[in-house]
Chains A and B, each alone.
Chain A
Amino acid sequence: MTAAPSIEDLLRDLAPHVLGAVARRYGNFDDAEDAVQEALLAAAQQWPADGLPDSPYGWLVTVTGRRMSDQLGSEQARRRREGLAAIADSSGARPPVPEHDDSLQLLFLCCHPELTPGSAIPLTLRAVGGLSTAEIARAFLVPEATMAQRISRAKQRIRESEAPFAMPSGGEWPNRLRSVLHVLYLMFNEGYAATTGPRVARGDLSAEAIRLTRMLHASLPDDPEVTGLLALMLLNEARRPARTGPAGELVRLADQDRSRWDRRSIAEGVALVSAALPSGAVGEYQLQAAIAALHDEARSAEETDWPQILALYGFLDRMTANPMVTLNRAVAVAMVDGPAAGLDLLDGIAEQLAGHHRLDAVRAHLLEMAGDDDAAIAHYRAAARRTTSLAERDYLTSRATRVGARASRSTTG
C-alpha cells in the first residue's frame, strides 16, 4: 500500500457507503463489490500523488460506476453511469449524509446466517471493512487465490439465497442481528492474543472487529448487546500488552503485569457495559463484558471479586448451556468455594468435553490448587498433547514441569 494512513482510513470509511450506493442503484451486490475494490485500489494509487479529489465519495462512486459499466458492457449501463456521474458532480465536497445506513445493511448481508463464519468474516472484512483480498489472505495465513475464491463463493451463496440488500423485516431482525454479532465476535477472537511476528496480521483482525463493532454501535447505540459486545472487545483488548512475556510466552491472567493494561480501553469498556446492563435486556455479551470488567478493575489478582464473577457465570451458564462456559464457572467456583467444589462441577461436563484440551487444562489447574501434584502434572501433560495451539502447548508443558519441580522439592526438603 502506498497510501498514507489518513487516505487509507478515509477510503475504508467511505467503502461501505460507496458500495451501498452502487449496489442499491444497480441492484447487484456481487459485481458492485468487485467494482468498489477496484475503485479503492485506483484511489490508493492516485490520491497520494494527485491529491484528494474535491469529493472523495463522489470520485469513488463515479469510478465504481465506470467499472460496473465496463463489466456489464451495455448501453443501459452507460446511461446509468452518466446518471451516477451527474450525482457525483452534484454531491459537493463532503460525502452526503447517507439516506440509508449502508454499513448496517452491508453487515446484515455479509453476516447472513446462510454463510458459515469462515466465509462471512472475510466477506465482511472486504465489503464493509474495505480491506483487500491480499490483506485478508495474510491475516488468515492462506494464499491470496484461496481467499479470493472463498470470498467469491460467499458472494455466490448470497446471490443464490436471494438475500435482499435491505434491512431484515421486524420478525427476522433479532436473528439477523445475532448472526452479525456472532461473526464480529469470532473475527475478534481470530486475532486474540496475537503480538509478534506472523501474529501481527491476526492482531489486526481484533482491531478490525473493534472498528466494525464501533460502526455497528454508532448505528444502533441503544441495543444493549451491541454495546455489550463492543465493551467485551475493549476490555479483552486492554489486556493484550500483558498477555505475553518477553519471549512470546503466554502469561496467565493471574500473573499479568497489570500496569501494562490499557487503562483507556478499560475505562471505555466499563462505561459501555455499565450503560448497557441497566437496560434490562441482559444478554451473553453484556454478561461476558461484565465479567471482563471485574477482572480489569481488580488492582491485583487477589483483589478480584470472584463471588461477583461466579454469580455472573451462573447467569451466563443458564443462558447459554455451553459447556465451555461451565468450564470457566468451575474456575470461579474453585476461587470462591475451593478446588474440590470446582472439580465436582467439572465431573458434570466431563462426558460432553471428553478429549478436549481445555477440560484437561482446567482440571490440572484445579488439581494444582488442591495440592494433588501428580494428578495435576498428568492433566497438564494430557492438555499439552491435545491442544493445537503452540503457545498453549508450551505454557501447559512448562506448568507441568514447574509443578513437578515443586513436588520434588517438597518431598526432598
Chain B
Amino acid sequence: MKYMLLMNHGQVAGVPPMSEWAPEEVQAHGAAMMAIHQELAANGELVGAEGLAGPDAAKIVTHDGAGAPVVTDGPFPESKEFLAGYWLVDVESEERAIEIAARTSAAPGPGGRAVGKEIQVRPVMHASPDAEL
C-alpha cells in the first residue's frame, strides 16, 4: 500500500522558527530525519522523498486557456499551507504509515523536545479494483 506523507510549511504554536534554533538543535533535527530516511530506504519502503523550496521561491500560475497565463509571485498570505516536503512510501499497512508519520512529527526541536509538526497521511489511489463487483 502506498501512502504519501505530507508536511506543510507552517510553524507549530510555541515552537520558534528553525532560523532561531541553536546549530546543534538544527543538526539533531536533521540527523533524526536522516535516520528515518535511511531506515525507510534500507527496508525497501521508500519510493521517493523531496523537500521543497519555501513559499518565497514559489510562483502560482493560472490560465483561463485564452490570454496569457497569470503568474503570481510571493509573498503569499497563506504561506503556512504551502507544502514543505513529502515522503512516498510503500508499506505493509496503514499502521506502519502512521508510525513513520508519528516519528517524523516527533523529530527533536529546540531543547531536544519533539516539534510535533502535523503530518498528513494520504493513501495513494491505485488503478485496479480490490475485488470483483
Contacts and interface: CB of A to CB of B under 8 A. Distances in A.
Interface stretch (A65-73, A85-93, A144-152, A213-221): A144-152
Interface stretch (B19-27, B38-46, B52-60): B38-46
Interface residues of A, number: 40
Interface stretch (B64-72, B75-83, B101-109, B124-132): B124-132
B104 to A, nearest CB: 18
A395 B44 contact: no
B30 interface: no
B126 A151 contact: no
B35 interface: no
A117 B90 CA distance: 13
Grouping DSSP codes into helix (H, G, I), strand (E, B) and loop, the A interface class, with mixed when no group exceeds half, is helix
Contact of B127 (A119, A140, A151, A390): A390
Interface in A152-168: 152-153
A391 B127 contact: yes
B16 interface: no
B43 A193 contact: no
B61 interface: no
B48 interface: yes
Nearest to B44: A150
A202 interface: yes
Contact of A199 (B1, B128, B130, B133): B128
A190 B45 CA distance: 17
A143 B90 CA distance: 11
A153 B41 CA distance: 11
Interface in B80-133: 90-92, 123-133
B18 interface: no
Interface in A99-142: 116-119, 140-142
B133 A392 contact: yes
Contact of B44 (A151, A193, A250): A151
Contact of B125 (A147, A193, A390): A390
B47 interface: yes
A118 B43 CA distance: 11
B123 A361 contact: no
B65 to A, nearest CB: 25
A395 B130 CA distance: 12
Contacts of B130: 192, 358, 387, 389, 392
Given A142-B47, A142-B90, A388-B125, A149 B132 contact: no
A148 B90 CA distance: 14
Given A146-B46, A388-B123, A192 B133 contact: no
A176 interface: no
A392 B45 CA distance: 26
Contact of A150 (B43, B129, B133): B43
A393 B129 CA distance: 9
A146 B90 contact: yes
A17 interface: no
Contact of A140 (B43, B90, B124, B128): B90
A239 interface: yes
A271 to B, nearest CB: 22
A390 B92 CA distance: 20
A387 B46 CA distance: 23
A275 interface: no
B90 A243 contact: no
Contacts of A119: 44
Contacts of A118: 90-92
Contacts of A174: none
Contacts of B46: 146
A192 B1 CA distance: 15
Contacts of B41: 145-146, 149
A273 B127 CA distance: 31
A194 interface: yes
Contacts of B42: 149, 153
Contacts of B90: 118, 140, 142, 146
B44 A147 contact: yes
A264 interface: no
Given A243-B132, A252-B132, A149 B127 contact: no
Nearest to A394: B129
A152 B123 CA distance: 26
Given A192-B131, A239-B132, 14 more contacts: A118-B90, A145-B41, A146-B90, A149-B41, A149-B43, A150-B43, A192-B128, A194-B127, A199-B128, A202-B128, A388-B123, A388-B124, A389-B125, A389-B126
Interface of B: 1-2, 41-48, 90-92, 123-133
12 contacts: A118-B92, A143-B48, A147-B44, A148-B44, A149-B43, A149-B44, A153-B42, A192-B132, A197-B127, A243-B132, A388-B1, A389-B129
Interface of A: 116-119, 140-143, 145-153, 192-194, 197-199, 202, 236, 239, 243, 250, 252-253, 358, 361, 387-393, 395
9 smallest A-B Cβ distances: which pairs? A150-B44, A149-B44, A252-B133, A388-B123, A391-B129, A193-B128, A392-B129, A118-B92, A390-B125
